[in-house]
Amino acid sequence: MDPDRVGQVLLNLLHNAVKFSAEGGEVRVQAHMIAEDAGRPGPWLLVNVCDTGVGIPAQDLPRIFERFYKVDRARTRHVGGTGLGLAIAKHLVEGHGGRLWADSVEGRGSTFSFTLPVA
């Protein structure tokens, strides 16, 4: 794998996790080896970046990986950002053959997960 690119993905997810969390929130990173990813035999590395931040409304969740898409600009105006980070991160992960996706509950937090093939 390309360590610089994978580092860029991780940094982007960590940056978002902190950016969309209030002071005193918690960000957790976990890494596991899994045998299968969406039916594709591995082994795969599964990385989760989990935060206790503002969360993402269900109707926005499928769109956050689009270029320039931002949830509720009024809500996040003060935190800035281009809306490009996740689109780039997804492109980089998929370029390695993996997947990147998000689970979230609005008001509770978000978990971003990605997989990478283990050679």
Q: Binding residues for ligand ADP, per CB under 6 A?
A: 16-17, 20, 51, 53-56, 64, 69-71, 76, 81-87, 110
Smallest distance, ligand ADP to C-beta of residue 41, A: 30
Find the helix or strand (DSSP H, E) in which 42 lies.
strand 40-51
Smallest distance, ligand ADP to C-beta of residue 19, A: 6
Per the omega criterion (within 30 degrees of 0), is the bond before 43 cis?
Answer: yes
Residue of 38, 1, 13, 2 lying closest to 89 (CA atoms): 13
Smallest distance, ligand ADP to C-beta of residue 114, A: 13
The nearer residue to ligand ADP, 49 or 116, going by C-beta atoms, is 49
The nearer residue to ligand ADP, 110 or 115, going by C-beta atoms, is 110
Smallest distance, ligand ADP to C-beta of residue 94, A: 15
Residue of 65, 19, 28, 68 lying closest to 48 (CA atoms): 28
In the chain, count of helices (H) and strands (E)? Answer: 3, 4
The nearer residue to ligand ADP, 42 or 87, going by C-beta atoms, is 87
Tokens read off for 84: 């490009």
